Structure formats: structure tokens, C-alpha cells
Structure 1
Amino acid sequence: MASNILIAYFSHWGHSKQFAEAIQKLTGGDLFQIETSRAYPEEHDPCSIQAHQEQLIDDRPPLVSHVQNMDQYKTILVGHPIWWYREPMVIRSFWEAYDFTEKTVIPFCTSGDVGIENTQKDLKMMLPQAQVKPGLRLATHAVDTSGSEISNWLRNNAVIK
């Protein structure tokens, strides 16, 4: 039987990927890496400047690949780093690429010190047809030590028992 849980993530430095993989181990859901053809600098400051420019012009970086059979998924967890207090613009490209009607969407993110509140608001605004559940933000380097927090969050959102 195919999974009805999708864990889609964008990860520039690997932390959000690590978070997505931890979720996948607990849920058995399918992993999908959100990728863009746009290159981002490895160094923090130049990457931050580029991300800010994308936000200022409300840009939508092009997606490299697409989820096959999106209709099969009922629950979609969407992960990313926080860039300039919210999701990277490629996440908006992802949200706009699919119909989320009657799907449950749950955000997760990594950040040095900024919360997930803006992403949560953006998600509800951009996907009003979806049921948006509370997201989870972990400190950038805390995924390895956050297993019980991730499990509790997934249980509270009825993703696992």
C-alpha cells in the first residue's frame, strides 16, 4: 500500500533534511526534496542577501522536480530553514504548484533563533483550502537531540499514534 504521508523539504545546509529524515523514520511517509534550479551561496551572509532579495520582489524560484501522484497524499509535512523570518520563496513555489484542497498540511523548520509563526500565517493565507496544523521549529543543530519533541508533535497532530 502506498503511503498517504508526504514529507517534502527544502534544505540548503542539511539541517531541514535531517529533520525530514527523522520524521520519515517515525511516520513511514515518503520523502521528497524540494529543489530549485537556482543556486544559493554556501556562506551565510551572501545566501541571506539573496534570500532577502527574493522576498522583496516576491519571487518564485523554479522547481526542478515535482511530486508524482500528489493525490495519494492526505497529510503533507513541509520543511525548510527560516530565511528572513519566514519560509524560503521556493516553499511558496511548492505551495503554488499543487492543489491542497482537503489535505492536512503541517510545517516544520530549523532556525537559529526565529520561530515558525510567520510561516504558519503564510501557510494559512496561501492555502486556505487546506487544514493547517501547528508546526514545529527546532534549533538549527538540535535535530539529533529532539527525538521525543518530534514524536510528541507528530502525536499531537495525529500523524502517529
Structure 2
Amino acid sequence: MSTIVYFSHQGETLLEGRYQQVSFGNTEVVAKTIAKKLDYDLIKLIPEEPYAIDYQTTLARAKLELQDDSLPEISSVKHNFQADDEIFLGYPIWWGTLPMVIKTFLKQVDLSGKKLYPFCTHEGSGFGRSLQDLGKLLPETEIQKGLAIRGSRVTCAQCAVDNWLCQKIQTNKLGGHENGNKR
């Protein structure tokens, strides 16, 4: 089995240097694209204390959480991750890495021995240092080649998602971990 887990901020976001209102966060758009393509379970991480709609207020909170290494509470996730072989994990890049909501989730579940396929949305930083941070948080998880999509391009990212998933399938058929890192 495989599952897609993601965190996404909706409300105001920065797209191509301008603040814009969005009904669905950029990461959610990508997560739903992957879920539709693969027909996998989709789990949205929801913080107990919602982030502000205002983007600057959200970023200020995210910066404090990162500086204090504070883990925001999240709503209970009702899923048996032991039954999964692979997890797709999606998040926006905030302050050069993954949001602390993701860290909260990763501290609550055991993903040892599983393949993790990270994907993120950003406005120019790619994965930032999030892959290194994932490696530190998940030393017994096989972190595979990820997909970073510019937030302003999520609505036309189908081709990038298809190519990434095609590479994943090819790697799995070869039985190799050529693109993955056993940590």
C-alpha cells in the first residue's frame, strides 16, 4: 500500500512576487494531482491551531516555530502506516525547509524501512535544506528522489508530476535504489 500525506496552507500566498488569495494551497494541488494519478489514499495534516490566512503572519509564526524547535499540535491522523510500503510526503518550503507541522507528524509515526517520496512547493528555493532535515529525522527510511514545483506553476505541473512518477516506476521495476538514499 501507499499513502500521500501533505500539509498545505490556504489563504494568502506569494506567487511570482505578488500576494494572492488561493482556495487551495499549492502543495494541496500537487498532492491531489498525484492522488488522482495513482489512486492512493490522501491524508491532509491539519494543525490544531490554524495558521493565519495572511501570509506574512503565517511566515512569522513559522519562523518562531522553527527557531524554538516547537512542534505545533496536529489533528489526529487515523491511518495504519505499518501497512504502507511507500509514503509520499508533501509540504511547502518555509524558511528554507519543511514546516514544523511536518516534523510533528514525523515524530508521531514510524516510517522505518519505508520508501519516502518527498514533494514540495516553493517560490525559488527548490527543496532548500528539507531533504537533509528529512534524512536527520528519518535515519531508517529510504528517501527517494523528490519533486520540487514552483508554487506559481502548480496548475500546469501535470507533466512534471507524470515524469517524476514515471521515474519512480522505472526505478522500482529495476529493483534498484539508484535514485534513493538509504539513510
Establish whether residue 11 from structure 1 lines up as the match of residue 22 from structure 2: no
Unaligned runs of 5+ residues in structure 1 are none
* Residue 158 of structure 1: how far off its partner (Å): 2.6
Please name the residue that 1:78 is paired with.
89
Cα offset for 1:28? 1.1
Q: TM-score, normalised by structure 1?
A: 0.93
Shift of 1:41: 1.3
Report what 2:176 is aligned to.
none
State the secondary structure of the residue aligned to 2:149: strand
Q: How does 1:28-107 map to 2 (within 5 A)?
A: 28-107=39-118
Q: How many residues align?
A: 158
State which structure, 1 or 2, has the greater radius of gyration over its C-alpha atoms.
2
- Measured against aligned partners, the alpha-carbon deviations of 1:21-73 in whole angstroms (never above 9, x if no partner) come to 00001111100001110221111111111100000000111121214211111
CA distance in 2, matches of 1:72, 1:141: 35
Q: Counterpart of 1:8 in structure 2: which amino acid?
A: V
Contact 1:120–1:134 (CA under 8 A) maintained in structure 2: no
Report the TM-score, using the length of structure 2 for normalisation: 0.82
Identity of aligned residues (%): 30
Q: Which amino acid aligns with 1:54?
A: E
Report runs of 4+ in structure 1 exceeding 2 Å deviation.
Answer: 157-161
Structure 1 contact 16–80 (Cα < 8 Å) conserved? yes
Task: Give the root-mean-square deviation of aligned CA atoms.
Answer: 1.5
Q: Determine helix, strand or coil for the equivalent of 2:129.
A: helix
Counterpart residue number, 1:148: 159
Letter in 2 for 1:6: T
3-state DSSP of counterpart to 1:68? coil
